[in-house]
Amino acid sequence: MALGNRCDIVQMLESEEVTKICAPMVRYSKLAFRTLVRKYGCDLAFTPMIIAESFSQSQHARDADFTTSQADRPLVVQFAAKNGKYFADVAEMVAPYSDGVDLNCGCPQRWAIQEGYGACLIDKPELISDMVSQARNRITVYPFSVSVKIRIHDELRRTVDFCRQVEAAGVSFITVHGRTKAQRAEPVNVEAVRLIKENLSVPVIHNGDVTSLERMQDIVGATGVNGVMAARGILENPAMYAGHGVNREVLSDWVEIAMNHGTQFPCFHHHTHTMLQNCMSKPERRVFNTFQSTAAILDYLDHEYGISSDGSD
């Protein structure tokens, strides 16, 4: 059975309000975290990147990699794919439960590139165009978006040409991470995102260095993008889009949501540590990193913040 009401993501992006988005993050943009950030001003959330071939062939992979709920909308499911049939297959599978699929053409990790996924695909515009076209032709529900998330080339004209070719294939919108596949900590290239936005008709989303509401507003002013996508910034502060920092209310909501979703310890530990790291001293962070169970974290939150295991104060 299909879940939730369908959302026209393109219409959302083309509205006057800038769309605030939670990025696809391997291991971390799962249902519990998406539920949390939706409470604090996040308009649209992406799943973690899922390998399309495994998802299409294995029920176990589908059960492990894709979890959603009635309230988890609007939702885009991101896939790593290198074959048009597999991308169209998985798009068809998740269409009843989501509002769009996204093709990852930006992951710079070595394993992904060696397997033919992620950022290496920005050098294969014909392949990307074929995958977008096949997925678009397969989907029978409406509205449903087919998008791509990219990194930029060293030569920006190549990126503009790439985006135009993908646009012609029927892509709904494009997310641009303003770094090349070789870059990591260098400042994001806002000028590149502006250039791409000026040369396309479809909506463009900026990704990279969105670390605060003020930074988001600066980026929108400099680029004219339709939306902004945060990863590290929203991990550290799930209330970033609401314009305030992590407080007892945010922590309480996180505990309640995480417990209700049966969040596993490694994920619960990572999210909680990331939310608290800026208000803990180095010795406190070292102690926190020694915790080996969810119960230990809950005891810490109860002792330090007066937050009980059900999320209440």
One domain, residues 141 and 196: yes
pLDDT the model gives residue 309:
73
Number of domains in the chain: 2
One domain, residues 64 and 167: yes
One domain, residues 229 and 288: no
pLDDT the model gives residue 18:
98
Distance CA 140, CA 92 (A): 8
Q: Which amino acid is at 305?
A: Y
CATH classification of the domain holding 135:
3.20.20.70
Q: What's the distance, CA 219 to chain centroid?
A: 18
Is the pLDDT confidence value at 245 over 70? yes
One domain, residues 91 and 15: yes
Distance CA 221, CA 168 (A): 27
In a domain? residue 3:
no
In a domain? residue 313:
no
3-state class (DSSP) for residue 177? strand
pLDDT the model gives residue 1:
44
The yes-or-no answer on residue 107 being catalytic is yes
One domain, residues 229 and 264: no
Q: Give mean pLDDT, residues 120-138.
A: 97
pLDDT the model gives residue 5:
83
One domain, residues 137 and 280: no
Distance CA 263, CA 257 (A): 9
Q: Which of 225, 242, 259 corresponds to the end of one domain? A: 242
One domain, residues 156 and 294: no
3-state class (DSSP) for residue 232? helix
Q: Which of 191, 214, 242 corresponds to the end of one domain? A: 242
In a domain? residue 88:
yes
Q: pLDDT digit string (tens) for 185-237?
A: 899 999 999 999 999 999 999 999 999 999 999 999 999 999 999 999 999 99
Q: pLDDT digit string (tens) for 218-230?
A: 999 999 999 999 9
One domain, residues 27 and 153: yes
Q: Which of 189, 211, 242 corresponds to the end of one domain? A: 242
One domain, residues 270 and 227: no
Predicted model pTM: 0.96
Is the pLDDT confidence value at 295 over 70? yes
The residue with tokens 């939310």 is 275
Q: What's the distance, CA 240 to chain centroid?
A: 15
In a domain? residue 4:
no
In a domain? residue 2:
no
CA dist 46 to 35, 196, 198, 226, Å?
11, 22, 25, 16
> Pick the catalytic residue: 7, 22, 105, 107?
107
Q: pLDDT digit string (tens) for 154-177?
A: 999 999 999 999 999 999 999 999
Q: Across the chain, what does the average pLDDT equal?
A: 95
pLDDT the model gives residue 259:
97
Is the pLDDT confidence value at 253 over 80? yes
pLDDT the model gives residue 308:
80
Q: Give mean pLDDT, residues 46-51.
A: 97
One domain, residues 157 and 227: yes
Q: Provide the residue range defining the domain that includes 286.
A: 248-305
One domain, residues 179 and 256: no
Q: For residue 27, which phi and psi values (nearest 5 degrees)?
A: 80, -20
One domain, residues 265 and 220: no
Q: Give mean pLDDT, residues 142-154.
A: 97
Read off the pLDDT band of 311 (50, 70, 90).
Answer: low
